[in-house]
Amino acid sequence: MKKSWIKELSIVAIVLSSIAILMGIFVMARTVPTNSDSEYMDIVKQHYQNFAPPIPQKVEFCGKEIPLDNVFVREALDRELTSIMYNHSTTFLILKRAQRFFPLIEPLLKSQSVPEDIKYLAVAESGLTNVVSPAKAEGFWQFLLPTAKEYGLDTLDGWDERYDLEKSTIAACKYLKQKKEVFNDWALACAAYNSGERSVKTRLNEQGCDNYWDLYTFTETARYVYRIIAYKLIMENPQQYGYYFRQKDTYQPIPTKEIIVDTTINDLYAFAKQVGVKYNHLRFLNPSIRGSKIYNKNNKKLRIYLPTTNALSWDYLTKDMQNQQIMIE
């Protein structure tokens, strides 16, 4: 009799546990109103935890499947996924910036017949910021000065087109397409972007290798394409990797208008007043400006961006997002 009672109690406990698990899954999948900050934070805190990054059964890069059954390939990708996934503040900021800059980058890649996955190369290079590397590579796409000039990016005293997102993206496309012609493979073209065409060629020939996944090379280049792919996986499915945010939490594209300047500007502080913008806004919207004056002796036509009406108002930029929802999966 006692054993029967214990057995029944165990069955009830199992049933209740199963119901609790199912209810937990249901709660995690429910929709959270974006205008309820407290509820949003409660849900996120409730389900925040450390876990191993999921790797899909099939992963493609630039239209070609990568060999995940190879243990070295799988572990290399897992290393980059783990590193990026748990670099929380940096990765969160990249996710926010992507909402501003990907809408500008994606149509440029399409116009140059370059796969959309290449946008993640810019993420791996710079985190979508205008950084300067120890080797003096600069801008989103991290061009060294000689390479920048080779691919049509102009530099003047006080002006550097490595910081022009449109022009530098097109230059990066030209470089990568050229390397794709050399190697007939986008992964190897990306490796060449990191370490140079000669370096990649030399190691392929030395090892009798014809693909990136079997190539033994410098640590930085060996990790490089995996890092790009890891960013792709996380940024395409951020919630799977523990990143929960609403559209209104991200950085929105800033509407701008253009003016053309073809003369030297000796005083950019005065120029900002003349065109009716604050100096810091002028610099933010025009990272190609690298000083307080632009010496344009050859009267090159320079494109200057200015904010449109209300373009710098957060309320204006997010006015249609206040009631949008996200799905907690």
pLDDT in tens, 122-134: 999 999 999 999 9
Confidence of residue 38 (pLDDT cuts 50, 70, 90): confident
Quickly state the pLDDT bin for 44 (edges 50, 70, 90): low
Whether the predicted pLDDT of 11 surpasses 70: no
* Average of per-residue pLDDT across 51-75: 95
pLDDT digits (tens, 9 = 90+) for 85-142: 999 999 999 999 999 999 999 999 999 999 999 999 999 999 999 999 999 999 999 9
Percent over 90 (pLDDT), the chain: 77
The total of other beta-carbon atoms located within 10 Å of residue 17's CB is 10
The whole-number pLDDT of residue 319 equals 84
Measuring CA to CA, which residue among 42, 70, 68 is closest to residue 57? 68
pLDDT in tens, 245-278: 888 899 999 999 999 999 999 999 999 999 999 9
Give the pLDDT of residue 289. Answer: 97
Give the separation between CA 271 and CA 279, rounded to whole angstroms: 9
pTM: 0.84
Rounded CA separation 161/300 (Å): 12
**46-60, 146-160, 245-259: least confidently modelled range:** 46-60
Task: Give the chain as a 3 state SS string.
Answer: CHHHHHHHHHHHHHHHHHHHHHHHHHHHCCEEECCCHHHHHHHHHHHCCCCCCCCCCCCEECCEECCCCCHHHHHHHHHHHHHHHCCHHHHHHHHHHHHHHHHHHHHHHHHCCCCHHHHHHHHHHHCCCCCECCCCCECCCCECHHHHHHCCCCEEECEEHHHCHHHHHHHHHHHHHHHHHHHCCHHHHHHHHHHCHHHHHHHHHHHCCCCCCCCCCCHHHHHHHHHHHHHHHHHHCHHHHCCCCCHHHCCCCCCEEEEEECCCECCHHHHHHHHCCCHHHHHHHCCCECCCCEECCCCCCEEEEEECCCCCCHHHHCCCCCCCEEECC
Residue 171, pLDDT score: 98
Q: Which residues contact 12 (CB under 8 A, 6 or more apart)?
A: none
Place of tokens 């102009």: 154
Q: Which pLDDT belongs to residue 324?
A: 56
* pLDDT for 174: 98
**Burial environment of residue 97 by CB neighbours within 10 A (0 to 12, 13 to 18, 19 or more):** middle
pLDDT at 329 over 70: no
Cα separation, 59 vs 68, whole angstroms: 8
**Res 318: pLDDT:** 87
Q: Report pLDDT digits (tens) over 213-240.
A: 999 999 999 999 999 999 999 999 999 9
Residue with the larger pLDDT of the pair 20 and 114: 114
Indicate the average pLDDT of the chain: 88
Cβ atoms < 10 Å from Cβ of 312 = 16
Check whether 5 has a pLDDT greater than 80: no
Give me the pLDDT at residue 269, please. 97
In this prediction, residue 39 carries a pLDDT of 73
Task: Name residue 187's amino acid.
Answer: A
Model pLDDT, residue 328: 37
Q: Enumerate residues 6+ apart whose C-beta is below 8 A from 80.
A: 223, 226, 227, 229, 230
31-33 and 60-61 beta bridge pairing: unpaired
Distance of alpha carbon 32 from alpha carbon 5, whole angstroms? 42
Report the alpha-carbon distance of residue 252 to residue 323 in Å, rounded: 16
48 has a pLDDT exceeding 70: no
Which pLDDT belongs to residue 91? 97
In which band, very low, low, confident or very high, does the pLDDT at 322 lie, cut at 50, 70 and 90? low
pLDDT at residue 9, as a whole number: 46
- Per-residue pLDDT of 194-214, as tens digits, reads 999 999 999 999 999 999 999
Report pLDDT digits (tens) over 68-80.
Answer: 999 999 999 999 9
Contact predicate 244/37, CB 8 Å: no
Rounded to 5 degrees, what are φ and ψ at 184?
Answer: 55, 35
Is the predicted pLDDT of residue 323 greater than 80, yes or no? no
Measured CA to CA, the distance from residue 313 to residue 226 in angstroms comes to 38
Predicted confidence band at 21 (pLDDT cuts at 50, 70, 90)?
A: very low
